[in-house]
Amino acid sequence: MEEKKEPMNVSTLSQQFIGAWNSRNSSQLDTLLAEDAHFVQGEVHFNGKSEVSQKWVRETMGTIENLKTFAVSSGADENIAFEGGTFTVDVIPESRELPRGQGEGNYMLIWKKNDKGAWKLHYAQLEDHPVEVKR
């Protein structure tokens, strides 16, 4: 009898990503990105692990903190997993004189197994709402 493989729990993958982001661990985030990763936010589109890591992860990491996601839809099989929902984040002002901001929006994360069997973030899409002053 053939052994049935259990699909990945996608929330586990997403929590690894969120934990690394909130602890500002860019090295761990790099290990979670697929070589052919894509990042999309509005008109912005970065392709490939190197570009996504530099232009999304490293350039954004110091500007936000306390990222939280709220999954609305998710699913997985043996090779692909997805999660979509809403997110909130604290936005750090460029100057100490400015108030902190609260950002929110929608997200979609797609994970794929690579040829070594490791789960990697293949696609991330964010849809931001305008940042509001945090109260």
Quote the mean pLDDT of the chain.
Answer: 90
Q: Hey, which residues does 103 pair with through a beta bridge?
A: 89
Per-residue model confidence (pLDDT) at position 31:
96
Q: DSSP alpha helices (H): ranges in the chain?
A: 10-22, 26-32, 49-52, 59-61
Give the model confidence (pLDDT) of 40-77 as tens digits.
998 999 999 999 999 999 999 889 999 999 999 999 99
Q: Please check whether residue 127 is in contact with residue 109, taking contact to mean a CB–CB distance below 8 angstroms.
A: no
Residue 58, SS3 per DSSP: helix
Per-residue model confidence (pLDDT) at position 4:
52
Per-residue model confidence (pLDDT) at position 134:
76
pLDDT band at 97 (very low <50, low <70, confident <90, very high): confident
List, as one string, the DSSP characters of 116-129: TS-EEEEEEEEEEP
pLDDT band at 100 (very low <50, low <70, confident <90, very high): confident
Give the lowest-confidence range in 54-58, 107-111, 129-133: 129-133
pTM value is 0.88
Per-residue model confidence (pLDDT) at position 26:
92
Q: What are phi and psi of 109, to 5 degrees?
A: -120, 130
Q: What is the DSSP letter of 118?
A: -
Residues 6 or more apart whose CB falls under 8 angstroms from that of 5 comprise 78
Q: Please check whether residue 92 is in contact with residue 116, taking contact to mean a CB–CB distance below 8 angstroms.
A: no
pLDDT, mean of residues 128-132: 83
Structure tokens at 60: 């954004």
**Domain covering 10-133, topology:** Nuclear Transport Factor 2; Chain: A, (3.10.450)
